[in-house]
Amino acid sequence: MKGLVLSLVLVTLSALCAQGDVPVQPDFQEDKILGKWYGIGLASNSAWFQAKKQQMKMCTTIITPTADGNLDVVATFPKQDRCERKSMTYIKTEQPGRFLSQSPRYGSDHVIRVVETNYNEYTLMHTIKTKGNEVNTIVSLFGRTKNLRPELLERFQQLAKEQGLTDDNILILPHTDSCMSEV
């Protein structure tokens, strides 16, 4: 456990240096972020994202509280001819709306911030992902429905560009009905 805490502290410090001053939703209310969301937009400067973005489609994400007060985040998405699930635990920090997470499967650490949300329509998230010496930026747009107002899509793209991402790094995920009822 000591190793995990030290690892998360080091990740937090390196991510804080990498991300500058990314805001967190003022007066973040965790209970209102719970429930089902659709993945609407994704932006990243990672090589993995560039290689896979042509196959990516909309996904569903379910956020639920854990017994120890953190958040379980489960995304279900179409992958080839099946539905795949990816689970992460978002560990709360001293700042409401900022979380830490690790992916032992991929060997990466994440600092996640809920940048902006109105809870019943959309959520914008910013993530710094660290894997070894590689540090990547991820900006995500989630909606309570599959369709969001054009100005929210524009706000997502604006936030991504403010974080140094380019048009080539930004993807509005294509709609699909595949795997949407699997959650």
For 96-118, the pLDDT digits (tens) are 999 999 988 889 999 999 999 99
Q: Which of the residues 17, 59, 83, 179 is marked catalytic?
A: 59
Whole-prediction pTM:
0.87
What residues does each domain of the chain span?
2-172
Let me know if 179 is a catalytic residue: no
CA–CA separation, 98 and 28 (whole Å): 9
Cβ neighbours around 73 below 10 Å, total? 19
Q: Which CATH superfamily is domain 2-172 in?
A: Calycin beta-barrel core domain (2.40.128.20)
Ranking 17-26, 35-44, 103-112, 158-167 by mean pLDDT, the lowest is 17-26
Question: Running DSSP on this structure, what letter comes out for residue 149?
Answer: -
